[in-house]
A and B are shown apart, each in its own frame.
Chain A
């Protein structure tokens, strides 16, 4: 069960519409290493984790990723708000406008729709946790690219928050991996 809270985890300030930046931010909304991929990945993998702690961690990080997905969606929504179709066309978002208008649809920065093929759940907790750590690093790198692509201080601020969360999640997944490996080793011995 999830309960929705009517607020963002972190505020989104956008100085003015910026179609190009909205397009780039799609990377983290519907791309391979997006917040959507992260949430679905962790909330899918948690069922077959061997320890209660790891089930808890994947549930809690997966839930935070949904909050991040909402933050990125809010940034895109605000950056595209009231932008006329002609301008979307000039920013090479004409194809996007044809199908989605100013809606916030999960595609990547090149317009490729989100797919479950971006994530894995192998049933092997060591493999899955390695994927999770790699995913956090990939998302961190993407945020660093995005931070360099904008001058908007509000957008930069929110992106820095999201980047920092990737670092923390990576750390926590590393600790979970150690615990799982210890648990599996212990089981083999006795």
Chain B
């Protein structure tokens, strides 16, 4: 995987981790304002990064979440267990 793609993927993983952690926290602390603000910021930035990644390297998700150029791009990029970090 080229270094630019890897770097963007790592940024997405890091930001998504923030979103996962805050999701679980908010599940049991739904009234707290600050983590909610952080969650919304992370979600917005994460969506931007994913759109950028998909524009450059193809879809991260199928099932109607992301669009594909022709031919069908879903299986073009390596699967997660075949990536060398």
Chain A interface (Cβ within 8 Å of chain B)?
3-13, 53, 56-57, 60-61, 64, 70, 73-74, 77-78, 154, 168-169, 172, 175-176, 179
Contact call A7/B60, Cβ cutoff below 8 A: yes
Nearest-Cβ distance from residue A128 to partner chain B, whole angstroms: 16
A18 to B23, CA, bound (A): 35
User: Quick one: closest B residue to A71, CB to CB?
Assistant: B80
Q: Which of A12, A64, A169, A172 touches B85 (beta carbons < 8 Å)?
A: A12
With contacts A10-B13, A11-B85, A12-B85 taken as known, whether A3 is within 8 angstroms of B63 at the C-beta atoms is yes
Contact B24 A169 (CB under 8 A): yes
Task: Report the 5 A-B pairs with minimum CB-CB distance, sorted nearest first.
Answer: A175-B28, A11-B85, A74-B81, A57-B27, A8-B80
When the two chains form the complex, which single residue of B23, B62, B65 contacts A60, counting CB atoms closer than 8 Å?
Answer: B23
Question: For the complex, what is the distance from the CA of A9 to the CA of B35, rounded to whole Å?
Answer: 21
B27 touches A64 (CB 8 A): no
> Which residue of chain B has its CB nearest to the CB of A176?
B28
For residue B63, which residues in chain A have a CB less than 8 angstroms away from its CB?
3-4
Residue count of chain B within 8 Å CB distance of chain A: 28
The answer to whether B61 and A5 have CB atoms under 8 Å apart is: yes
Contact residues in B for A53 (Cβ distance below 8 Å): 27-28, 30
19 contacts between A and B (CB under 8 A): A3-B65, A4-B63, A5-B61, A6-B59, A6-B79, A6-B80, A7-B12, A7-B13, A7-B80, A11-B13, A11-B85, A12-B85, A53-B30, A60-B23, A60-B27, A64-B20, A73-B81, A78-B81, A172-B24
Q: Which of A9, A11, A169 has the most CB of B within 10 A?
A: A11
C-alpha gap A175/B31 in the complex (Å): 14
- B13 close to A9 (CB less than 8 A): yes
User: With A11-B10, A11-B13, A77-B81 as given contacts, are A6 and B28 in contact (CB-CB < 8 Å)?
Assistant: no
Which one of A3, A4, A57 lies within 8 Å of B24 (CB-CB)?
Answer: A57
| Contact flag A6-B21 (CB < 8 Å), given A11-B10, A11-B85, A13-B85 | no
Given the complex of chains A and B, what is the CA–CA distance between A3 and B65 in angstroms?
8
Question: Are A8 and B13 in contact, with the CB atoms below 8 A?
Answer: yes
Tell me which of B21, B23, B60 contacts A5 (CB under 8 A). Answer: B60
Pick the most buried of A3, A7, A64, A78: most chain B CB atoms within 10 A of its CB: A7
Residue numbers in A under 8 Å from B85 (CB-CB): 11-13, 154
